[in-house]
């Protein structure tokens, strides 16, 4: 049997349902990192016209929606997450008219559009912050940020011991002697969400983009807006190791929830089920679920799932806890393997062996897409792209790379531009063969281009296309609240999902050796070659099979 063979689906499998209600409960959402997706003008930087021209790739892939990382006006100190103007497109990406055309063309293809909103901080070039610097200590413009006097005899020490996620103190001193808070780069001052003007500004920003036609928002650092009263010291020497694991006074404070209740009311003003998705690093999935109560947000990224290794017991545990936590608030679970901030999972699962990493990545994808709820795909994972680990220091742009502590500063490795076609870099990323690319692509990527994989039944691209087609068509896949775990050998996960119109079984061999498992039905899809037999089917190591039971 060849890889990825698809058996017949139930005869009453539904047709395209892009207009279904509560579409977000089982949506597959594709993340586009704009500077690295497609370059329309040949300057080496991805842009909105380039993205628009490549939307048919996403339609054919079979996703429901596209999430765009920031393309707003920005000095690019942190790849656009330092926003200078929330209502303008940075010239490097195009114009506001280009953004409107992108949304229009996506909707023509029945693709919904989700854009980033960055409410925890702005750029130090934002007019509000520049005004605050001009106005001086004690002035009303400074109240929209966290300005404080320093400690020590002359105020020469930071106001507290908080550290930046990117490393170093979370405070920078200005010429008049005061300090301002920035949980990320110094070029990213934190807003003070105790100030009513900040609330009103972001309600206006949401309406601006909703009026332009976007279908929702991904909320950057959704857990960070509210800080504990008095900005207390933490007293821990390695704060970065606490993030997402333990409570800290600048993340996941209860006050954020009233903000999101007000945002949900805005979303309800607009037709078409507009949604909001939280990037919320919390200590537990139960804390993440608090963001998804019926009057708050719609989804939250499941970082616990993303950070779980290739381990049967660990994955089963996080799947069970995720479904339990989300069911308690009537929200869908979400599943994600890669994004623009983490090492690509084809490398993360490799344990030093690239071939093993790709096998596991394919198997992990089929596991993820078989689970109840919504799934996220990061650009390039459908091509099986590995992390680019060998980048010269002089081309790196991750701000954490230059600060020495905090995050490892290697996020550029997952942001290398997409390879579309051709035999040499930039592999169709731009319109000119051999043209520029803001980060260099490995020469070996010529075999990973979308063009090279198109139509190859053994390719990662065709596996994704097949999986998304089956997921959309099979009545037991997509939205749901539970999986029924089946008896299986050690190192194997097996579960059943049922609906009145069909039954589905997923079997995953996470071990390093082939294992014989029961044969519950016909093969719908597999990440590796399998030959089903009534007496039992031998599952290769690091493989997943979907069955029509």
Which residues are catalytically annotated? Answer: 220, 269
CB 298 within 8 A of CB 329: no
CA distance 490 to 9: 30
Under DSSP, the state recorded for 163 is B
CA distance 176 to 263: 36
Cβ-based neighbours of 430, under 8 Å, separated by 6 or more: 39, 41, 42, 43, 44, 50, 436, 437
Residue 29's CB: how many other CB atoms inside 10 A?
A: 24
Q: Which of 197, 192, 221, 286 is nearest to 78 (CA)?
A: 221
Strand 85-89 to 72-73 pairing: antiparallel
CA 369 to chain centre: 15
CA distance 174 to 176: 6
Contacts 24+ apart (CB under 8 A), 57-62: 57/450, 58/30, 58/109, 58/111, 59/109, 59/110, 59/111, 60/465, 61/30, 61/382, 61/464, 61/465, 61/468, 62/28, 62/464, 62/465, 62/468, 62/469, 62/471, 62/472
CA distance 491 to 312: 6
């Amino acid at each position: 049997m060849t890889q990825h063979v698809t058996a017949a689906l139930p005869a009453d499998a539904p047709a395209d349902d892009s207009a279904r209600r509560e579409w977000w409960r089982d949506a597959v959402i594709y993340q586009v990192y704009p500077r690295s997706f497609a370059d329309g003008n040949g300057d080496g930087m991805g842009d909105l016209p380039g993205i628009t021209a490549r939307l048919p790739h996403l339609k054919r892939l079979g996703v429901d929606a596209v999430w765009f990382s920031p393309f707003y006006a920005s000095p690019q100190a942190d790849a656009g997450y330092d926003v200078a103007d929330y209502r303008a497109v940075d010239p490097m990406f195009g114009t506001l008219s280009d953004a409107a055309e992108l949304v229009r063309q996506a909707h023509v293809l029945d693709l919904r559009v989700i854009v980033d909103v960055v409410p925890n901080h702005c750029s130090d070039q934002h007019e509000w912050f520049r005004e605050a610097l001009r106005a001086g200590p004690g002035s009303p413009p400074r109240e929209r940020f966290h300005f404080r006097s320093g400690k020590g005899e002359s105020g020469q020490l930071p106001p507290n011991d908080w550290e930046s996620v990117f490393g170093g103190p979370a405070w920078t001193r200005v010429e008049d002697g005061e300090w301002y808070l920035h949980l990320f780069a110094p070029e990213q001052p934190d807003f003070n969400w105790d100030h009513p003007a900040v609330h009103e500004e972001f309600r206006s920003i949401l309406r601006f983009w909703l009026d332009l036609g976007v279908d929702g928002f991904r909320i950057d650092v959704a857990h960070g807006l509210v800080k504990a009263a008095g900005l207390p010291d933490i007293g821990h020497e390695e704060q970065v190791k606490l993030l997402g694991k333990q409570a800290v006074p600048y993340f996941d404070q209860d006050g954020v929830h009233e903000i999101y209740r007000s945002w949900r009311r805005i979303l309800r003003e607009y037709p078409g089920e507009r949604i909001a998705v939280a990037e919320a690093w919390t200590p537990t999935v139960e804390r993440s679920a608090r963001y998804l109560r019926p009057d708050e947000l719609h989804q939250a990224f499941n970082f616990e799932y993303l950070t779980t290794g290739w381990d049967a017991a660990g994955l089963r545990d996080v799947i069970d806890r995720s479904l339990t936590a989300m069911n308690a608030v009537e929200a869908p679970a979400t599943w994600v393997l890669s994004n623009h901030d983490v090492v690509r999972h084809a490398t993360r699962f490799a344990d030093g062996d690239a071939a093993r990493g790709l096998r596991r990545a394919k198997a992990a994808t089929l596991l993820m897409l078989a689970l109840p709820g919504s799934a996220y795909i990061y650009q390039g994972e459908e091509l099986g792209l590995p992390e680019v680990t060998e980048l010269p220091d002089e081309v790196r742009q991750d701000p954490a790379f230059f600060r020495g502590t905090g995050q490892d500063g290697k996020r550029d490795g997952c942001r290398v531009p997409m390879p579309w076609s051709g035999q040499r870099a930039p592999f169709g990323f731009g319109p000119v063969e051999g043209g520029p690319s803001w980060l260099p692509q490995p020469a070996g990527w010529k075999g990973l281009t979308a063009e090279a994989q198109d139509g190859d039944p053994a390719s990662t691209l065709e596996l994704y296309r097949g999986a998304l087609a089956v997921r959309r068509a099979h009545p037991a896949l997509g939205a749901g609240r539970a999986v029924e775990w089946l008896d299986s050998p050690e190192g194997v996960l097996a579960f059943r999902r049922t609906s009145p119109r069909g039954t589905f079984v997923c079997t995953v061999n996470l071990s390093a050796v082939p294992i014989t498992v029961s044969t519950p039905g016909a093969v719908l899809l597999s990440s590796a070659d399998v030959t089903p037999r009534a007496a039992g089917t031998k599952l290769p190591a690091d493989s997943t099979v979907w069955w029509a039971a």
